[in-house]
Amino acid sequence: MASVLVVEDDQFVRSALIRHLTEASHTVRSVGTALEALREVAHFRFDVVILDLGLPDLDGAEALKMLRSITDVPVIIATARDDEAEIVRLLNDGADDYLTKPFSVEHLSARMAAVLRRSRAAGAEPPPRVLRVGALAIDPLRRQAELDGKRLDLTRREFDLLAFLAGRPGVVVPRKELLAEVWQQSYGDDQTIDVHLSWLRRKLGETAARPRYLHTLRGVGVKLEPPGPQQ
Ligand code: CA
């Protein structure tokens, strides 16, 4: 089982890939642009990235270069272009392998297995990291969170919010940063954050008046930290 990021703007190809990979027991996240891909790899750990070269925002070579500037994750490029010179150039630029579209599931699986074998043999990938804050355990890879060993039923946004804060325990995160990082918006009203925070609070079994993990500092930001001994 591997954690896979699929970067593909074609809805049809993307859903097919997600379906096949999920059926093969892989954990899949997917995005349709290079910039979203960069954001994903900055926030989550993947075992392999499948990168379509024909993305709407950035040229494939450019996208690969930017990915490489922030992560060593194995990248398999998927290209409709049967252009040997370009493929060789991309392999030299840090791609680990490539697939020419259309490709079969078997072909994809074989390439993935080979890439994963190599990266695991190289010991490049650390074991999955679980973020722990007090009795909270957050697994960004599996997108699961537990409190006191009990699984929390979180929406996608609640999970993102919790995981982001858990990555910086005890640090007051300004609302602006939350909007930018969790909502991916450069502006917005505080209400959006407040509403999600209150839902998340309820699931953590606490209230704004009697916070345990989630602390709102009016006009400043939000922080997540383990409850004190008196709580
Ligand atoms: Ca494309």
Dihedral Cα 18, 29, 138, 69, nearest 10 deg: 140
Domain range list for the chain: 3-124, 131-224
- How close is the Cα of 78 to the center of ligand 1, in Å? 9
What average pLDDT does the structure give for the chain?
88
pLDDT one-digit tens code per residue, 145-178: 999 999 999 998 999 999 999 988 888 888 888 8
Backbone angles phi, psi at 129, to 5 degrees: -100, 125
- How close is the Cα of 10 to the center of ligand 1, in Å? 5
What amino acid occupies position 113? A
- How close is the Cα of 104 to the center of ligand 1, in Å? 17
pTM for the whole structure? 0.54
Average pLDDT of the segment spanning 176-197: 83
Give the pLDDT of residue 171: 85
Q: Which CATH fold topology does 131-224 show?
A: Arc Repressor Mutant, subunit A (1.10.10)
- How close is the Cα of 53 to the center of ligand 1, in Å? 6
- How close is the Cα of 77 to the center of ligand 1, in Å? 11
CATH of 3-124 given 1.10.486.10, 3.40.190.10, 3.40.50.2300, 3.90.950.10 = 3.40.50.2300
Dihedral Cα 21, 24, 26, 30, nearest 10 deg: 10
- How close is the Cα of 207 to the center of ligand 1, in Å? 46
